[in-house]
Structures are given as C-alpha cells and as structure tokens.
Amino acid sequence: MQDKLNELKRHLSEAYDLWNIGALLNWDQSTFMPKNGAAARGRQLGLMGKITHEKRTDPKIGRLLDELSSYEKSLPADSFDASLIRVARRQYEKDLRVPASFMAKMMSHFTDTYHAWVEARPANDFSKVQNHLEKTLDFSRQYAEFFPHDHIADPLIDESDEGMTVATVRPLFADLRNQLVPLVKKVAEQGAIDDSCVMKHFPEKDQWEFGLQVIKQMGYDFDRGRLDKTHHPFMTKFSLGDVRITTRVKENNLTEALFSTIHETGHALYEQGISMDFEGTPLAEGASSGVHESQSRLWENLVGRSYGFWEHYYPKLQATFKEQLGNVPLDSFYRAINKVEPSLIRTDADELTYNLHVMIRFDLELDLLEGKLAVKDLPEAWRARYKSDLGVFDPRDENGVLQDVHWYAGYIGGAFQGYTLGNILSAQFYDAALRANPSIPNQIRNGEFGSLHGWLKENLYQYGSQYSPSDLIQKASGSPLTVKPYIAYLQEKFGNLYRV
C-alpha cells in the first residue's frame, strides 16, 4: 500500500507543479508582462490548462485511488494518508466530469477577457468586454452542467466553498443583512466622519516602505515571497516556498495600498503556515475561499484597523509623513480609517457596508446564471441595485460593473460569496484566539503578533485542506459557522465610534 501511495503522490505532485506553472504565468500577466504578450499568453494558459487537466484526470490516478480505498478505510479519518486519499479522490472525480478540451478553451478565453478588461476599465467602456462576458456566462453555465445540482450556481459555489450552495448562502446572507441594515442606518444618522487627513498627497515610495515594515512584523516571510504592483491586488502561490502578494498604490489615498497590502498578507500568512509535509499534494491549499478570506479580513480589519494596532504604529506613520499627519491626533486618524460611508467601490468599502457590495454581486450572478438578466443589461442593473441598496449612483461603468476583475478572469458565479463568509469567520476565529490567549490585544498594542499568528498556525493554517471547511471551522473555533461573533464585533466597534 505504501508503494501505491508513493506512486499516487508522484502523480499528484506533477499535477500540482503544472497547476503552479499556470499560476506563475497568471502572476506575470498581472504584474510585468508587456501589453503585446496577451495573445500568446492566452494560448500558453490554454495549453497549460489542458495539460494540467489531462494530468489530473490520468486513469492511473483513478486506479491508484481504487486500490487504496481499503487502506484509507483502515486509517484514522484525519490522518495524513487518509486525508490525502480522500481529497485527491474528490478532486479527481470532479475533474473527470470536465473534458480537457473544454478547460483549454475556457482558460484561454479567461485570459483574453482579462486583457480586454484591463483596457476597458480605464476607458470606461463596457462594450469592450460585453461579448467576452457573454461567452464567460456560457462557459460558466456549461461548467455547472457537468455536475449534478439543485441550482445552476451550486457547482460554481462548491468550487470555491466546498459544501455551500445557493440554499445555504441565501438564508445566511438574509440573516446578516437583516442585522446589518438597521446598524448602517443608525450610523448614517450620526453624520459623516472627516477623513480628509488620509486623502492628502502621500508619496508612493514612502507608502511602500511603511507597508513592507508592517507586514514583516506581522510575520510575512520574504524568503518565501515578494510584493509587487498590479491592477487588482491578489495573492498567489507557486509552492509553499513561494507565496507572493501584490498591491496597488494611490498617492492621494493613504488607505489603499496599506490595507490592500495587509489584506493580501493575511492570505499569504495562511499559505506560508501550511505544513511543509503537504507540499506537492492537494492538501497544500487553503480549505475554502471563505476560510481564506477570513484571514485577509482578520489581519486587515480586526488587527489592522484596530485602535490598539495604531497605538503602536501611528507614531511611526507620523514620522514617515510629518507634513501630512504631524498635527493629526490618533483619535482623528483612527476614526478616518474606520469611516462608514456608502460607496461605489467594493475594495474601498468600510467594514459595515462591505457585505452589501458582496450581496449585490451575488444576486446579480444568480440572475445572470438563471437567465433573468442579460449581460447587455448588467450595467444598468448594477446601478439600480447600488442606488436602492447603498443610495449611491455613478453613470460610469469603471466605478460600476467594470470595477472587479473576477468576472473578467474566471467564472461568473462562486467568486463573491467567500468574501462575506470570510468576514463572518474572521470574527469567529479571532474570538476563539482571544479565548485561548486574552493578552493578544495588549500584545498588538506593542506591535507583537507572535501569539495571534502562532494560534492561527496551530489551529488553522497548518492543516491546509486536510479537513473540510465545516470540520475545520468546528475544530478551530469550537462551533459551526455563525454570524454572532461578527455582529457583536461590528456593534461594539461602530457603536463606540458613532455612539449608537
């Protein structure tokens, strides 16, 4: 059995490496690739998608999984070998449903669409991507039809958040929305906070250096990663020894680069914390997009936007930007970076209204997939939802339907629910960490993150995808997914900020 397991690992490792070569090509096209490389990159990624898919569906893997079935049953369910066989079987059976030729065409199309989006957004021209997006919708529906489902979006959601479906996400979102909207309304009635102190001119070089200092202290290992600029910030991994992050800088907005960098660092800390024993296997991945997003939001918001964090870092920030912040009190700065105000851009949204952005996208995705909404009508539907849900309106598509890269670099469906699941889980995991170590907030006030980072590595990161998302959430936090800690966190934080 050990010989068969080693042979399975060899096949899985080759598929793992091929996938990560594709990820490297994707990273390059989002950072350093010249514009005229787009056509060739589309072919290359299409070819890599086809080869990777063929490797992942090699009949030898299926035979080995069958031969190892009795061995798996003889092992503890959470052992490395049993977990590897179980996760590999789930991945293999899913991949087997999708033809390699389809994957090649779809991956190539995603690359073409991404480059059309890169040009369309700054040009404020949805027509440049409309035809691409219509094909993306077709590909998304076709992909979903390869799998049994109750709702057309279920296979796409399961791709990112195993075990979740439209039937589970909708009521969860409805519950959260019912509790969020009254709080947003109360806060809005208190009037706007002045955030002009973070909207001055902040030179890019100084922002960059400050961000590097912060994420090094949080624990990001630059011997296993690097930071670069891109159009839409992301984290990517080519191995457990090479986990990279990207950010974008606006010199007239101090919060953009700083919190984007911390956000992507949260993702990277998760990947860098996975057990090195899992390298080259399907276990060397985060458990789900929701669990992954919980880490970016935990570090960005519960840590990075906390008062205690800035008790330590604000004097250093003032020293970096003496002219801009030298006379701005900490309380004013803290209120500015936590200002609640309905806005057009999801990535710039405050903690309180952020989930409303996600819910709009989730609903629009379902309407598109269900055939209730045509792609050509998407920009107007987007504006109508923003006006009704957030009370804001902009006729420019660059601030509307073109703002997020997701639909222009992947499926329509399954991408956005993870952001709100992550927000919910960020508070749930942080609450569990505080129960285990109540001194964590005081340590953060001193710029010390070792205890928090250590708890997360021990209880969450090291396991990769060894456990299903629901089992991992239960194991790490002591309870199933629940909105209670998140709502309590928001009520306390913004209740104090806005005195409601």
Write out the binding residues for Zn(2+). Answer: 263, 267, 293
Count other C-beta atoms under 10 Å from residue 337's C-beta. 18
**What secondary structure does DSSP assign to 413-470, as a single string?**
SSSSHHHHHHHHHHHHHHHHHHHH-TTHHHHHHTT--HHHHHHHHHHTGGGTTSS-HH
Residues 56, 11: Cα–Cα separation, whole Å = 8
Count other C-beta atoms under 10 Å from residue 260's C-beta. 25
> What is the token pair recorded at 159?
């791709």
- Binding-site residue numbers are 263, 267, 293
Residues 277, 288: Cα–Cα separation, whole Å = 19
Catalytic residue among 72, 159, 264, 300: 264
Count other C-beta atoms under 10 Å from residue 345's C-beta. 14
Question: 30, 231 in Cβ contact below 8 A?
Answer: yes
Three-class DSSP category at 335: helix
What DSSP designation does 236 have? E
Q: Which of 136, 90, 140, 74 is nearest to 111 (CA)?
A: 136
Provide the β-strand partners of residue 245.
227, 235
Question: 190, 500 in Cβ contact below 8 A?
Answer: yes
Residues 460, 272: Cα–Cα separation, whole Å = 12
Whether 323 sits among the annotated catalytic residues: the reply is no
What DSSP designation does 197 have? G
Provide the CB-side half-sphere exposure for 465 (13 A, CA).
Answer: 23
In degrees rounded to 5, what are phi and psi of residue 415?
-95, -35
Active site residues: 264
